[in-house]
Structure 1
Amino acid sequence: MPPIIVRPKRSNPLALAVLALLFERPMHPYEMAATLKERHKEDSIKLRYGSLYTVIDILVREGNITPRETLRDGRRPERTVYELTPAGNVEMREWMRSLLKTPVKEYPQFEAALSLLGALPAKEVSQLLQKRIITLQEQAESTRATLTVAQHHGLPALFSVETSYHLKLIEAEIEFVHELVAQIAHDGCGWLPQWKRFHKERPAPDASDLSAPAPAKPPHRKPGSKTGS
């Protein structure tokens, strides 16, 4: 009976980035991090040096990458150069195909807040969403500027496609939040009278209540100990 191969869980985009970088050429970890930053990929993939070395160790253990050579440049610490293995090449391609082909359920924090919208008064929700629109508009302008710079330097659109995607998401969210604010003002998404009554019956905590000292805890006594008279 052939051995059962247990594939690693594909949950860390940084691991995929390492595989993709080593598909280009062998690199040491510092070069991997520098390349991701130079290409602004840390905007899409969370990058920390500690996490990077952990990911590299896991990929080596799984046989997806392997050390190629160790270099020393002057007084700098030794740097291990890694290369992609045939198994890593297969893993990278299958992982990419899966991500591009199959939508997966993600849990954005804004979506979580929307699912619990009634926990704040309708008027406050509208005010907060209007502030969000301002921040989103600033993000959109910054993202457009990044794309303009990339185009000015002749960077092919292939290498900034995630930035274009991010801009579309921001623009779509701005449109959605505008519509949501208008809907809340009109009828509270079909629940405005109940929404107002709900918070009238449950007033917000007073600031003085928040600053009051917590009640003292009763003294801890061992089981069987006697209290004083």
Structure 2
Amino acid sequence: MPSRMLENPLVLPILGLLAERSMHPYLIEMTLRERSPSNGWPVNRGSLNSVVSALNTAGWVEKAPAEKGTPASTRTVYALTSSGFEELGRRVVLQIRDTTPEFSRFLGAAGYLGAVERAAALDALDARLRSLEESIAALTQSYDAALADGLPRLTMIETEGALQARAAERDWVESVLLDIRSGELEWTTKVEIRQ
């Protein structure tokens, strides 16, 4: 198993879920999808199984003993090892401290907003604004329901952060739309095609 598999972004949430309880990969996949609509983990069964296998090879997870009376054909359940728990803590601290900018396809495209006509830019930004507002509403509902069900705020801190980030983006998109419509953001479309 290539060591680069241990750099997969799924490593941290898999270790985190296994810190809660032992699980088989399919349950890990379903739990990630259910709990993390805010971050869009790149989850597919093939990559998840490869990551779990790499974690097993690294000694961070191990196959949990089968329960008595369980058929041998049931799914393999994995448990976090003590070295896996240490790795989880190391990664949490490392990733919280890391301020390396992450590429944003949206901001990459926004840098070339002047390459399209004003009406097309307004249309695209309006669509993004609506999408952000819908996303914020859905996340807020999910967040509030989880807290109402008694989930501690600390377990929902990721969703809280995602809500704050989306709200900030929504506010910025809204201000850009206002500036375009008011003329404060001067619109010039100059695209040079080099031959």
Match of 2:85 in 1: 89
Matches within 5 A, 1:37-186: 37-38=33-34, 40-41=35-36, 43-44=38-39, 45-70=41-66, 73-74=70-71, 77-186=73-182
Q: Percent identity between the aligned chains?
A: 28
Q: Give the letter aligned to residue 93 of structure 1.
A: G
Matches within 5 A, 1:25-44: 25-38=21-34, 40-41=35-36, 43-44=38-39
Say if 1:122 and 1:188, in contact at 8 Å, map to a contact too.
no
> Quick one: distance in 2 between partners of 1:10 and 1:58?
7
Q: Which has the higher contact order (CA 8 A, sep 6+)?
A: 2
Q: How far does residue 42 in structure 1 lie from its aligned partner after superposition?
A: 5.0
CA RMSD of aligned residues (A): 2.7
Structure 2 residues without counterparts, runs of 5 or longer: none
> Quick one: distance in 2 between partners of 1:87 and 1:121?
56
Structure 1 residues without counterparts, runs of 5 or longer: 1-6, 203-229
- Tell me how many residue pairs correspond in the alignment: 189
Q: How far does residue 81 in structure 1 lie from its aligned partner after superposition?
A: 2.5
Q: Which of these two proteins has the greater Rg computed from alpha carbons? A: 1
TM-score (normalizing by structure 2)? 0.81
Q: How far does residue 69 in structure 1 lie from its aligned partner after superposition?
A: 2.6
Say if 2:6 and 2:51, in contact at 8 Å, map to a contact too.
no
> Quick one: distance in 1 between partners of 2:114 and 2:85?
48
> Quick one: distance in 1 between partners of 2:6 and 2:175?
36
